[in-house]
Amino acid sequence: KPEHLAPIAEGLHLDLDDLKATVRRYAAGKRYSPIPIKRDLSPAELTFIDSHRDPGTFPELELVQEPRRLYPQDGLAAHVIGYVGEVSESELNSSDFASYSQGDLVGKSGLERQYNEILKGVDGQRRVVVDVAGREHQVLESQEATPGQNLQSTIDLDLQAVAEIALEGKKGAVVALDPRDGSVLAMVSRPAFDPNLFAAHIKAADWKALTSNPENPLINRAIQAQFAPGSTFKPLV
């Protein structure tokens, strides 16, 4: 309810204008799908929800557990693996993401983006009967989610780790290929970033720190940096 947004924003330490914008953005979506308004709740915020979601206050509040990615620490193979994020408005308007809804997580870069359809699986669903307080009384239909497929890359973990260590504190890229078939055995770009920041919903401060960093840690210097070709390329042109 619109009149509930201000006290909910205060109790969950949200900016009221941002909360209103979120609700408007989801209004055109599926009628009975929950609108995620905050992730990674603190103990105090969990208590606020538990004590206010009765019929007399904010029955629309609901706690939902969701799985999240767990990426290697310290940015190991960050640019190779990539990261996931909430599907954007522009992506929803493209044919590649026609089957997605507002709030879905999709691959944004690296292997996560390239093999998104293989990794994502199929959502499950439940149809239930609830009372005015949102308490379940009967399950009408339940369909289990189908996990995504496994994916095995050609990256050699030991070689990747050695290359990462060699570039520690430096700015540049290392690529190692198998000369027999061109398989990528290692691909390192430094400086790197921590994909775990994106695993649920990246905080505005973390996103600003990454995008405003003059060393551009989000750029994969192995394939994106604009360096002039070396002398070995000259015979080809």
What are the φ and ψ backbone dihedral angles of 94, each rounded to 5 degrees? Answer: -100, 155
Which residues are 171's β-sheet partners? none
d(CA 9, CA 3): 11
> Can 109 be counted among the known catalytic residues?
no
Gap between the terminal Cα atoms of the chain: 65
Residue in the structure block whose two tokens are 């690296």: 110
Provide the token pair at 75.
Answer: 């940015």
Q: What is the DSSP letter of 129?
A: E
Half-sphere exposure of 131 (CA within 13 A, CB side): 6
- Which residues are catalytically annotated? 231
